[in-house]
Amino acid sequence: MEEIIRELKLDMAAQAVNLRKSWHVAEVEIITSDGVDVGWLQKSKRDDALYLEQIYITAAFQGRGIGGEIIRSLIEEARQAGRPVTLAVVKINPARRLYERLGFRVAHEDDRKFYMRCDALTVG
């Protein structure tokens, strides 16, 4: 995220403060691969949806399909609960392509972010 924060010319310290404010331990899961901690996921329930607050995979483990596997699991969890999955992604974040491949569509947008939704009941 540091690259994106720099590219958007955002205040790094302010972004760190915002992350700490939005971090709720009860919503966080550590992501492991072959017994190694490789990242984390934060999810919550918002309105009628399962909301992907944040997902982070350590750079050394990116590009191995771990994030996609985690998000597919999240979609399955939502499907079983009869809920959609929603998220927000900064427009310049290349993760948007992954989300689209997994069935997410842009529901609306603002000047910086796309707000995406995956109707888990229709994703096979």
CATH code, domain carrying 112? 3.40.630.30
pLDDT in tens, 64-113: 999 999 999 999 999 999 999 999 998 988 899 999 999 999 999 998 88
Number of domains in the chain: 1
Whether 55 is in a domain gets the answer: yes
Whether 51 is in a domain gets the answer: yes
Whether 95 is in a domain gets the answer: yes
Q: Which residues constitute the domain of residue 43?
A: 26-122
pLDDT in tens, 26-78: 889 999 999 999 999 999 998 899 999 999 999 899 999 999 999 999 999 99
Of 109, 124, 119, the C-alpha closest to 85 is: 119
Of 107, 97, 1, 10, the C-alpha closest to 51 is: 107
Instruction: Give ∠ CA 100-106-75 in degrees, rounded to 5.
Output: 55
Report the C-alpha gap between 110 and 99 in whole angstroms. Answer: 18
